[in-house]
Amino acid sequence: MDAPAWANVKMQGEVQPKSQAEQESSIESPSQPGKIPVEVSARHVHLTQKDVDALFGIGHQLTPKRELSQPGQFLCEERVTLITGKGEIKNVAVLGPVRKSTQVELSFTDARGLGLAVPVRQSGDTEGGGDVYIFSDKDMVRAPGSVIVAKNHIHMTCKDAQAFGVKDNQSVRVKMNTSRPVTFEDVIVRVSDQFSLAMHIDFDEANACAFQTGNTGSLLL
Ligand SMILES: [Zn+2]
């Protein structure tokens, strides 16, 4: 039996790993419309090179630990601690490569524990984001306005988009094929040939629908 999503809470910040066999069994071909592999993104941080320099030493390069499902994205060996006036979260994953702005993606449960009221935003849009301090073993940086709850979304290629009959930035509904089915509304489709087909939800969403590794979502227009 697959481990339930909550069993992976210790793997903070990791997008759930998939073996080759799992990928092959869970990714439906576009000729089976509507079925989408789903991955759970735990809390994580994207850093600028400037913040990497400040936290880990000038010129430090993030160290890839494992590739993620989206081409070019990787989980890093580096870990950080998030601190606010109300709480802290240790051992938070860093995802690479570096970005133009530092962004912290939490679940609402995490944000509440840090005393933060944060908005749901698409990655890259941190308007109204919460403030946090990011610590490494060596140093710290302030990351004002960097904390968001990531809006759930589907990555897909142009070919997938054609097969599903959707466009970039389109809002769709996705029914989770789980033991406690939930239909997510206003799920944003993101189309690029740099992507591979996957829906990303956070831990609160995964637990809400009793998600287990390998469960899929059905796209409802
Ligand atoms: Zn994603």
- As residues whose CB is below 5 A from the ion ligand 1, the structure lists 200
Span from the CA of 92 to the centroid of ligand 1 (angstroms): 17
Q: What distance in Å separates the CA atoms of residue 146 and residue 46, rounded to the nearest whole number?
A: 10
37 prior amide bond cis, ω within 30: no
Portions of the chain given CATH number 2.40.40.20: 31-41+152-220
Span from the CA of 151 to the centroid of ligand 1 (angstroms): 9
Span from the CA of 179 to the centroid of ligand 1 (angstroms): 23
Q: What distance in Å separates the CA atoms of residue 130 and residue 41, rounded to the nearest whole number?
A: 19
Span from the CA of 58 to the centroid of ligand 1 (angstroms): 29
CATH class of 31-41+152-220: mainly beta
Q: How confident is the prediction along the chain (221 residues), in pLDDT tens digits per residue?
A: 444 444 343 333 444 444 444 443 444 444 445 689 999 999 999 999 999 999 999 999 999 999 999 999 999 999 999 999 999 999 999 999 999 999 999 999 999 999 999 999 999 999 999 999 999 999 999 999 999 999 999 999 999 999 999 999 999 999 999 999 999 999 999 999 999 999 999 999 999 999 999 999 999 97
Span from the CA of 69 to the centroid of ligand 1 (angstroms): 9
Span from the CA of 200 to the centroid of ligand 1 (angstroms): 5
